[in-house]
Amino acid sequence: MAIKSFHPPQRVLMGPGPSDVSPRVLEALSRPTIGHLDPVFITMMDEMKTLLKFAFQTENELTMPVSAPGSAGMETCFVNLVEPGDKVIVCQNGVFGGRMKENVERCGGIAVMVQDEWGRAIDPQKLEDALKANPDARIVAFVHAETSTGAQSDAKALVEIAHKYDCLTIVDAITSLGGTPLNVDQWNIDAVYSGTQKCLSCTPGLSPVSFNPRAQEKIRNRKTKVQSWFMDLNLVMGYWGGATKRAYHHTAPINALYGLHEALVILQEEGLQNAWARHHKNHLALRAGLEAMGLNFMVPEAECLPQLNAIIVPDGVDEAAVRSLLLSEHKLEIGAGLGAMAGKVWRIGLMGHSSSPSNVRLCLNALDDVLVRLKAPIRHGVGVEAANRLLAS
């Protein structure tokens, strides 16, 4: 039997990413493919840089999307900035900090881990202590928005401490970009990477990155070649660079870039501050609804990421059965716990296009229905009303 075309079902994506992609982005993806050196395409690339600089709040010339998912943006930062023998302090408070360690070691660097409790922000004092104990450290790396737990760290404070000890900073802003305040220049972040499928509500597979002049200088003065040919920024810049003639490096994912361009235009139309405020308001409404039902958040409110809500699974409830019923009966996807949090929490994303009052209500109604059906100990029929009180204000 011949295999037929693939038609995915319609879902509501409220997990840790991907989030729902705007119909405008889906339409942009289907526009005609043109050559990656076509002058019209080059103009689009220049606009893309301008839009990314706006989203990151930076004037960094070296700002562009890496042609691969967020993990490749992460790797781009590490392979370019870490040389063999470099000591890197990695603050870890969840799954993604562990991946940073892997990256450092694969670049021949020495990772010094500073551990924090999962579900809490990174403690700036612990970073300062580690820097005092390791005066030869060259780089500090941390995750701004830990998607595995829903905790947000004070990036500005951490970068300030790192600079006091003359270290460069690498910041994972995959889940924060577009969803919660991120000011790359104001906070003096040296290297930052993000993803497209979280709060930008674009399809997965691209990773915006940005490097300030200090980071660029470190890359230019490397004693060794960057181990990865594909991610060597000295070469990539030949294609994405501003003034010089564009040279072929790799074939850009042309249509995917149309999608990101559109997603960034949408963000620009809404305004960054408005997008951050929308994420925060919908988070508060979801929180009010869930707490009225008797469910608890893992992260204290002051450290909570508005776009990723980790909810403690009540005792005796089969967490996988809940997710499975939400998907089959309500077409709603939420996330499971990751790493040490597996089986202990659900992760409800309110990212980008998915962060809306109607999705807050839909999620509360669906959870109420499924949890009552599974005889979980919750208060029935009170979630949406509690959320509505916040949404009306």
Ligand X SMILES: *Cc1c(COP(=O)(O)O)cnc(C)c1O
* By the rule CB under 6 A, 98 interacts with ligand X: no
Least distance (Å) between residue 17 CB and ligand X: 5
Least distance (Å) between residue 170 CB and ligand X: 12
- Window 179-198: contact mask with ligand X (x via CB under 6 A): ----------------x---
- Window 146-165: contact mask with ligand X (x via CB under 6 A): -x------------------
Closest Cα partner for 83 from 224, 236, 234, 229? 224
Q: Taking the chain, what is the end-to-end CA distance rounded to the nearest angstrom? A: 57
Least distance (Å) between residue 149 CB and ligand X: 10
Least distance (Å) between residue 2 CB and ligand X: 33
Closest Cα partner for 91 from 37, 22, 153, 136? 153
* By the rule CB under 6 A, 314 interacts with ligand X: no
Least distance (Å) between residue 34 CB and ligand X: 26
Considering only residues 228 to 247 of the shown chain, the ones binding ligand X according to CB under 6 A are none
Q: Which stretch binds ligand X (CB under 6 A): 24-32, 66-74, 245-253, 263-271?
A: 66-74
How far is residue 379's CA from residue 387's CA, in Å, rounded to a whole number? Answer: 14
174 versus 313: smaller Cβ distance to ligand X: 174
Number of residues that bind ligand X (CB under 6 A): 12
* By the rule CB under 6 A, 336 interacts with ligand X: no
Q: Which stretch binds ligand X (CB under 6 A): 67-75, 150-158, 260-268, 371-379?
A: 67-75
Least distance (Å) between residue 373 CB and ligand X: 31
The answer to whether 347 is a known ligand-binding residue is: yes
109 versus 150: smaller Cβ distance to ligand X: 150
* By the rule CB under 6 A, 253 interacts with ligand X: no
Least distance (Å) between residue 325 CB and ligand X: 25
**Which of 96, 211, 239, 346 touches ligand X (CB under 6 A)?**
96
* By the rule CB under 6 A, 71 interacts with ligand X: yes
Count of other CB atoms within 10 angstroms of residue 235:
15
Residue closest to ligand X, measured at CB: 70
141 versus 295: smaller Cβ distance to ligand X: 141
SS3 per-residue string spanning the chain: CCCCCCCCCCCEEECCCCCCCCHHHHHHHCCCCCCCCCHHHHHHHHHHHHHHHHHHCCCCCEEEEECCCHHHHHHHHHHHHCCCCCEEEEEECCHHHHHHHHHHHHCCCEEEEEECCCCCCCCHHHHHHHHHHCCCEEEEEEECEECCCCEECCHHHHHHHHHHCCCEEEEECCCCCCCCCCCCCCCCCCEEECCCCCCCCCCCCCEEEEECHHHHHHHHCCCCCCCCCCCCHHHHHHHHCCCCCCCCCCCCCHHHHHHHHHHHHHHHHHCHHHHHHHHHHHHHHHHHHHHHHCCCECCCHHHECCCEEEEECCCCCCHHHHHHHHHHHHCEEEEECCHHHCCCEEEEECCHHHCCHHHHHHHHHHHHHHHHHCCCCCCCCCHHHHHHHHHHC
Closest Cα partner for 189 from 200, 173, 178? 173
**Which of 172, 232, 303, 333 touches ligand X (CB under 6 A)?**
172
Q: What are phi and psi of 65, to 5 degrees?
A: -90, 130
16 versus 383: smaller Cβ distance to ligand X: 16
Least distance (Å) between residue 175 CB and ligand X: 4
**Which of 69, 238, 294, 314 touches ligand X (CB under 6 A)?**
69
* By the rule CB under 6 A, 143 interacts with ligand X: yes
The answer to whether the CB of 100 falls within 8 A of the CB of 81 is: no
Least distance (Å) between residue 361 CB and ligand X: 25
* By the rule CB under 6 A, 259 interacts with ligand X: no
168 versus 206: smaller Cβ distance to ligand X: 206
61 versus 116: smaller Cβ distance to ligand X: 116
For binding to ligand X (CB under 6 A), which residues are involved? 17, 69-71, 96, 143, 147, 172, 174-175, 195, 204
Binding residues: 347
